[in-house]
Structure 1
Amino acid sequence: MSHLQTFQIYPDIPESLSFLEDLSRNLWWCWQRDAIELFRRINPQVWRQSGGNPIAAGTYISQEYFENVAKDDSFLAHQQRVKESFESQVLAPVDRSGYPFGEHGTIAYFSMEFGIHESIPLFAGGLGILAGDHLKAASDMSLPLVGMGLLYRDGYFRQFLDPEGWQQEEYPTTNIHYLPINKARDQAGNKISVSVSGPDGDIHAAVWQLRVGRIPLYLLDTNLPENPPQIREITARLYAGDEKLRVAQEILLGIGGMRALYLLGIPPMICHMNEGHSSFAALERLAQMISTYNIDLKTAMEIVPRTTVFTTHTPVPAGHDVFPADLVRPFLKPLEGRLGVSVDEILSWGQEPGAGKDSPVSMFVLGLHMAQYRNGVSELHGKVARRMSFHVWPEIREEEIPITHVTNGVHVSSWISQENALLFERFLGPKWHRYPLTSDIVNRIDEIYDEELWRAHQMCQSRLIRTCRMLMLKQYARRNAPRAMMEDAETVLEQGILTIVFARRFATYKRAHLLLSEPERLEAMIRSKTHPVQIIFAGKAHPKDHQGKDLIKNIVQFARKLEVRHRVAFVEDYDIHLARHLVQGADVWLNTPRRPHEACGTSGMKAAINGVLNLSILDGWWCEGYSSESGWRIGNGEEYDDHAYQDAVESRALYNILENEVIPCFYEKKGGNAPTQWVKMMKSSMKMAIINFSSHRMVADYERQFYIPAAERLKTLLENDAAEARALAAQRRRLRSLWPHIHINPPTKDKHGPFRVGNLFNVRAEVYLGELLPHEVLVEIYYGIMKSIDEMGSGSAREMNVKEDRGNGNYLYECTINCELSGRYGFTVRVIPRGDDRIRFAPGLITWT
């Protein structure tokens, strides 16, 4: 129909229930068990049909029904209890006068996706779930943080399988009227919008606000009448396949997102870029800094990176966004006037060192250059990220590359089962989820009666089985499956059988095929009369990943075999709702990535907090979390060049562990009681995960290591008309111009070896600094044990002291070496700038002997 007018009607909520509207408009409810139950008890069937969306559920309930609930004293008492919690945890003012951030300081957290709840389709997978958990923990901790993302009209794809088991995708349009969002307003109460220049004209975007507890999440939306169709498509789908559209998304997120924050009156003290997708935010922040403080680009470049955090989640170079320079250039052309440099100079910040002006632009490289605080998301991933960044710092040792790590964590309240939450309230205290837990408190998990913990787990497993059956009935009905298959779906999986779950993105490096490498051996485990096993698979393949789709097809066809079809299931459309049931109801969480390709892998953490035991390759977080008391490892952390050989070795190891350790342990039940050793491991798993792998610990690490130092640094850099920042810019110019003249003569030692442990000797080196002065540089001896005849392994640096000023820019440096351990060692001497990490590790400012 033409000229169609639309309008939305919401229920007329009685006055006594008015708090329900406020609650439904803040996603705080989605990690509060009591609040979820408040919505559910209104009408459990409608709650389930709405997908747990309180706004949608409200439109399905009659006015008369609401009137009856409004007179229910029991319900009103429950509502009052939730309201008091909401007011204390969300609305109560926070005194930040003593914080480094001050009363109005803000941390801006940029991310391409946010996974907060299944009813908010703004996520694709682990990166988004991590971002959502980050916001929830920040709210719990009253951190002054805001989120910035995009509002996708179609979101990420929904998965369904055709009759042959081949993945198909559909993109259902999101009903924006069922989302708890409002148009964002500036401090004067006016609605705001942003515009970003693009090659096809200006990109206009509305700014929406979504509340996540105390944290506002702002979302940009190009689906506006004033935009032509091709520009409206920018925020249509998450991770658009078209390269030009992807660039436009990232330009809008970074540049448009930063502009929105300034229009809202909340210029960030600190910018946290979650993955390279948001790296353009630093460019707009530079321009805003220049304009706000009347400084030049070089001075702004001393401020912005020192107050920026860049977190990379990608363990392989192919996973980073890299765009042709000609595609990015027209988007950045308008910044020339505001930054005072050519667009080619701006592009160079995201290009490989020494590359030409037309070389590709890497969002990873841009993020590295624009942030002083850089981190991977697990200890192993930090090492991998340093190895991947060697081309940016080719002159320093890999272990010294300035990338650290903050291991991811999960928001425990969002993922813990209601049964386990009740046990924690009894044994850890009623506010166990409100503060970082000490080991003394968490160790009370050992006091939980084995029978109670096992009974709670059995209830979770029963709920998982019911959910899988229901979802499989739906997926078979969608395919018009024959009656026999529908009946099979009603009886798939059994209570009390060892349940293994493999649920994750179906990328080839995650190796879903490993468990199916010896089908006859696997079938024997599944069909065992005394110790049977059942397996649940779930996960999506990228729409263009045909190898990943083929893995899914093979698993589905295996699951249809007559001999195993009651004990193997592939459940479609893996999302937060399904994930919650899987991590709560599984017995074993299986993870088989090809090391070191798993950056972290937080699903195993979610399982662990529920007492599910991990069986995993030593990759990502499991390198830090594994102990024999809380799970199993496949291999010992080896890395192979021959992938076929690796698969063969590790698949055999997987089968051996299942047959010889996992299955016997699970079925070691005496007199029908809970399996004692298994329950002991469940408790150990819970303690390990809650103490070390919660999002509260993760956000506290970011706050301590990055946010607070950056906030304090910003204040000093801006004091006295940005005097220090201007001085740093001048010093950098001085270093750049004079550094090429530095020369180091070969160092000498005052004694000849061989040496014995405990011996001392002095090392001297004559260094020509030219016009530079000793207080401007660090002269260091770098020494370590030799890896081969002419290659040093890991080493360490020690500062050398000026022994003598020999005039004309020549200085004699000296230090003493203590022979602490035996072995063959090597040493050399280098010069680097003196200062913080931003200046010490500036690419190009290092000279070796």
Structure 2
Amino acid sequence: MKAIRRLTVRPVLPDPLRPLSDLARNLRWSWHEGTRDLFRSVDPGCWADAGGDPVRLLGTVPPARLAELAGDGEFLRRLAGAAADLDRYMTGDRWYQDRERSARLPAAVAYFSPEFGITAALPQYSGGLGILAGDHLKAASDLGVPLVGVGLLYRHGYFRQSLSRDGWQQEHYPVLDPGALPLALLEEPDGTPARVALALPGGRELRARIWLAQVGRVPLLLLDSDVEENDLGERGVTDRLYGGGSDHRLLQEMLLGMGGVRAVRAYCRITGHAPPEVFHTNEGHAGFLGVERIAELCDGGLDFDSALEAVRAGTVFTTHTPVPAGIDRFDRDLIARHFGPGAELPGIGAERVLRLGGESYPGGEPGVFNMAVMGLRLAQRANGVSLLHGGVSREMFAGLWPGFDADEVPITSVTNGVHAPTWVAPEVFRLGARAIGAERAEEALTVGGPDRWDSVTDIPDEDLWELRRTLRGQLVAEVRERLRASWRERGAGEAELGWIDGVLDPGVLTIGFARRVPSYKRLTLMLEDRERLTGLLLHPERPVQIVVAGKAHPADDGGKRLVQELVRFADDPRVRHRIVFLPDYGMGMAQKLYPGCDVWLNNPLRPLEACGTSGMKAALNGCLNLSVLDGWWDEWYQPDFGWAIPTADGAASDPERRDAMEAAALYELLEQRVTPPFYERGRSGLPDRWIEMVRRTLSLLGPRVLAGRMVREYVERLYTPAAEAHRAMEPDAARGLAEWKARVRAAWPGVRVGHVEASAATATAELGSTLGLRVRVGLGDLAPDDVEVQAVSGRVDSGDRITGAAALALKPVSGPDLEGRWVYEGPLALDRTGPFGYTVRVLPSHPLLASGADTGLVAVPTDEPAGTAAPLMR
């Protein structure tokens, strides 16, 4: 008989054990080994059955065991110590508070993301975007950054993956009971659940309650539409992560963005938390948060254009997408139905919302509403997630800034990092703690700093090698256990599975490959030449073994075919002891996989990997990277700690030929450069060259790949300037900037760059000499204070395009003449040899602009002005 309703009955803990509940409800336990050890000691068997989830553990421990612990003096002492440690962590000064006190720092930052990977016990993530968001919150907590996370609570999370007998991916969607998760309802002072609501067409409403997950010091607000006040359709809005059609996804993104702002306001009102000065949109899914904030300001008396300027000042937008196909785009008519009279934000109107996301630029689709475009238009500061991805993003979105070269598009980059306490194996941490002490080792993982990682050079070779052997052995045991469970799910009987006891060898070079399975990540590139791969796997002296995991999107049959192809190869009795595919890749598996591998393989199509943080997690455990120069590896690769797979960029436009070339390069690297140093032994009997690469990976890459480094960069380079801009954008300033922009746009057709004269300081153009520039500029109805006239110079290529451009502001010396022209002058230094060129341009200039390209307007020496900002709404 099936239950019609489910709920979770929580245990009543004896009074001496009450602190266990507080420890379980704060997700700091997910990265704090001491707290996990405490829960493990409650009941090791129940802990294993609960999958390392303290909330589930406390719901299954027999009452007799709880009573025993309540009288166990040693356990109570450990419990009191853990509770006191958490209290110090929550209330003590961290990096953010220890910095020189400055009013520049934001009082609070709201961080919006469609998914968060905090722990396997809270399965609200699908892949890298969510794991990155979870690591961002954890690092902010460790550093004391006053962040508030905002997301959705998906009742089915992302799917669970299994395999059919023939290797086809199967999806399962278990129902999650919030009462069984480490969550608490946000309640009003009268004890009723806090609610947010969105108006839907036809007089309907979408209501949601707010669950609170405490991620160390950071509150994470998760909106849940599965409430009785909703109709059946609205109850299912937060059913699955990245599920449903366009209408369903739009409602999810409206609830995340607009409902999320309302949830933040409710949380601050109820708890007294400082209101955010900065709103960070992690990818375009949450872009409607800017529309909601505009509506708030309009309700407070600002007009739309002024409110837009105020919102942009305090908004940061991060794009993770290197290809247009990865961006959420909706039909304009669908957007129009959800805004305006009878729906949301009737005071603003659908047309204004549509203009924010419209692809009104060369190459855009007029009938499409683009969430990333809206995110960029609503944020004064934007970034990609690696140096290479920043450049790709500037190229991809250059149409929003016509008249500017791609390298001047105002999208910077902050390279992702990973939260070391989450991803570093306890054995690695303990080895570091023996070298420099536990406190310094913890600081090295959270705050970072090269000086704390230099001590890796003092760790003896035998200790590093023993660490790697231990971790590899643990992985072998984990793989065998998971592989046996997978084959049982595929219908195999126990009598068929004796071979699994011989799968993998703790002494063999182990390669890991685990990630989502879109086609560009090329899961099956390793199968390009199967005989050559088989030779590598079965080499009599230098064999390799490979552990593979990954999920294809449920709607991606192409990705599922790739999984099936890999699985069928791994099922071959000739090689199945050397290559395995593990289904249901997630955080729990990853935390065993990264440390246990010797080499982490990554072979995407360059430059389609925005960052690719899995290799960072592996590196923190002494695993060496073997990767295409894409994402973060393009930025930080050195031969000292890994290998770069050559790519056929531009040399092979045919995909099959390109894959064949790059696969051949991969095999060559494995045969000639990767396996030899692993198996070669020096005088000490150890693989000296390999150990040295491990040492350099830890000491040189370690401090770079930390999420702590990433969050510090966000604070210093994006959050703090955004907070300052937010404070400067008071109502009068916002109105003034909006009026100024309107006036400049109207007058811009009258801006002209006229005659340019240059006089050399010497007879020949020599390095170190200067050119005296003199240019006549027509400003029309504008004044010199409204513009900046620049000389732009640098090396020129064969097409006379300036590269590595530098801009010099010229000064007005006279004007206007009878024709309204002003004369500008300035010295241009010839500071580079070789082909050199320059030009002159005019940009709008205002103290509240974040960059010269902010308005999208520019005038250059042509018959017509270049660039128009009308479609940009800047």
Q: What is the one-letter code of the residue matched to 1:775?
A: D
The worse-fitting range, judged by mean Cα deviation, of 166-175 and 728-737 is 728-737
Looking at structure 1, the residues matched to 210 and 69 of structure 2 have their Cα atoms a distance apart, in angstroms, of 36
How far apart in 1 are the matches of 2:330 and 2:395?
22
| 1:371/1:188 CA distance change after superposition, 3 Å | farther
1:481 to partner: Cα distance = 1.1
Distance 1:337 1:648 in 2: 52
Matches within 5 A, 1:572-591: 572-591=583-602
- Equivalent residues of 2:509, 2:545 under 8 A apart: yes
Aligned counterparts, 1:183-582, within 5 A: 183-186=185-188, 191-199=193-201, 201-264=204-267, 265=269, 267-292=275-300, 294-333=301-340, 340-353=347-360, 359-431=367-439, 432-434=441-443, 435-483=446-494, 485-582=496-593
Alignment match, 1:86? 86
Q: 1:822 to 1:624 in 2, by over 3 A?
A: same
In structure 1, what is the Cα distance between the partners aligned to 2:478 and 2:313? 48
Q: CA deviation at 1:5?
A: 6.7
- Verify: 1:727 aligned to 2:739, yes or no: no
Deviations 1:274-330 (A, max 9, x none): 0000000001011113334x3222222221111100000011110000100111112
Task: Label 1:520 to 1:354 Cα distance change in 2 as closer, same or farther (>3 A).
Answer: closer
Q: Deviation digits for residues 755-807 of structure 1, max 9, x if unmatched? A: 33334322222111122111220011223333224544442221111132143
Deviation of 1:636 (Å): 6.7
Letter in 2 for 1:342: G
70-79 or 191-200: bigger deviation: 70-79
**Residue aligning to 2:24:** 24
- CA drift at 1:576: 0.2
Structure 1 residue 753, shift from structure 2 partner = 8.6
Q: 2:664 aligns with which of 637, 640, 652?
A: 652
Are the structure 2 counterparts of residues 338 and 483 from structure 1 closer, same or farther at C-alpha, using a change threshold of 3 Å? Answer: closer
Counterparts of 1:621-640 in structure 2 under 5 Å?
621-635=632-646, 638=649
Q: Structure 2 matches for 1:640-719, cutoff 5 A?
A: 641-670=653-682, 673-718=685-730
With 646-655 and 390-399 compared, the bigger mean Cα shift is at 646-655
The answer for unaligned runs of 5 or more in structure 2 is 862-874
TM-aligned CA deviation for residue 754 of structure 1: 6.6
* Correspondence 1:745 to 2:754: yes
User: C-alpha offsets along residues 180-226 of structure 1, whole Å, 9 cap, x if unaligned?
Assistant: 11111356765310100123621011111110011110011111111
The aligned counterpart of 2:154 is: 152
Q: Identity of paired residues, percent?
A: 38
Superposition pairs for residues 615-626 of structure 1, below 5 Å? 615-626=626-637
Specify which of 797, 802, 807 is matched with residue 797 of structure 1. 807
State the Cα deviation string for residues 379-432 of structure 1 (Å, max 9, x = none).
000000000011111211110000000000000000100101101112232122
The amino acid across from 2:20 in the alignment is: L
Residue of structure 1 in register with 2:110 after alignment:
108
How many residues are aligned here? 845
Q: Is the 8 A contact 1:500 1:588 kept in 2?
A: yes
2:47 counterpart residue number: 47
Q: Is the 8 A contact 1:100 1:711 kept in 2?
A: no
1:817 match: secondary structure: strand
Counterparts of 1:401 and 1:154, CA distance in 2? 40
Query: What secondary structure does 1:848 align onto?
Result: coil
Structure-2 residue corresponding to 1:772: 782
Q: What SS is found at the alignment partner of 2:468?
A: helix
Moved more, 332-341 or 709-718: 332-341
- Greater shift after overlay, 824-833 or 441-450? 824-833
The match for 1:124 is 126
- Is the Cα contact below 8 Å between 1:350 and 1:361 reproduced in 2? yes
Secondary structure (helix, strand or coil) at the match of 2:475 reads helix
Provide closer, same or farther for how the CA distance between residues 756 and 643 of structure 1 changes in structure 2, counting only shifts above 3 A: farther
Judged with a 3 Å threshold, the aligned counterparts in structure 2 of structure 1 residues 405 and 6 are, in CA distance, closer, same or farther, namely: closer
Amino acid at match of 1:692: R
Query: 1:62 aligns to what?
Result: 62
1:484 deviation in Å? Answer: 5.3
> Deviation digits for residues 640-682 of structure 1, max 9, x if unmatched?
5443332222211111111111100100124784311111111
1:121 deviation in Å? Answer: 1.1
With over 3 angstroms needed to count, the CA separation of the structure-2 counterparts of 1:54 and 1:302, relative to structure 1, is: same
State the structure with bigger RCO (CA 8 A, min sep 6), 1 or 2. 2
The one-letter amino acid of 1:232's match is R
In 1: Cα distance, 2:5 partner to 2:781 partner: 75
* 1:150 and 1:235 in contact (8 A); partners too: yes
Residues 617 and 634 in structure 1, CA contact (< 8 A), matched pair in contact too = yes
Which residue of structure 1 lines up, in the alignment, with residue 72 of structure 2?
72
CA distance in 2, matches of 1:359, 1:101: 45
* 1:506 positional shift: 1.2
Separation (CA, whole Å) in 2 of partners of 1:472 and 1:728: 62
For 2:254 and 2:107, how far apart are their aligned partners in 1? 25
2:389 & 2:823 partners in 1: Cα distance?
Answer: 40
Residues 769/118 of structure 1: CA separation in 2 closer, same or farther (3 Å cut): same
Give the 3-state SS of the residue equivalent to 2:631 in structure 1. Answer: coil
Any conservation in 2 of the 1:220–1:253 contact (CA below 8 Å)? yes
1:844 Cα deviation after fit: 4.3
Whichever residue aligns with residue 410 of structure 2, its letter is: P
1:820 CA drift (Å) = 2.6
Q: Quote the Cα distance in structure 2 between the aligned partners of 1:742 and 1:403.
A: 26
Q: For residues 817 and 183 of structure 2, what CA distance do their matches in structure 1 show?
A: 69
Counterparts of 1:480 and 1:685, CA distance in 2: 42
The residue matched to 2:580 in structure 1 has which SS?
strand
Whether contact under 8 Å (1:595, 1:639) holds in the other structure is: no
Letter in 2 for 1:783: S
More deviation, 119-128/505-514 = 505-514
Q: CA deviation at 1:727?
A: 2.0
TM-score normalized by structure 2? Answer: 0.93
- How far apart in 2 are the matches of 1:28 and 1:448? 29
8 A contact 2:122–2:181 mirrored in 1 = yes
What amino acid is the match of 1:262?
A: R
Shift of 1:42: 1.6
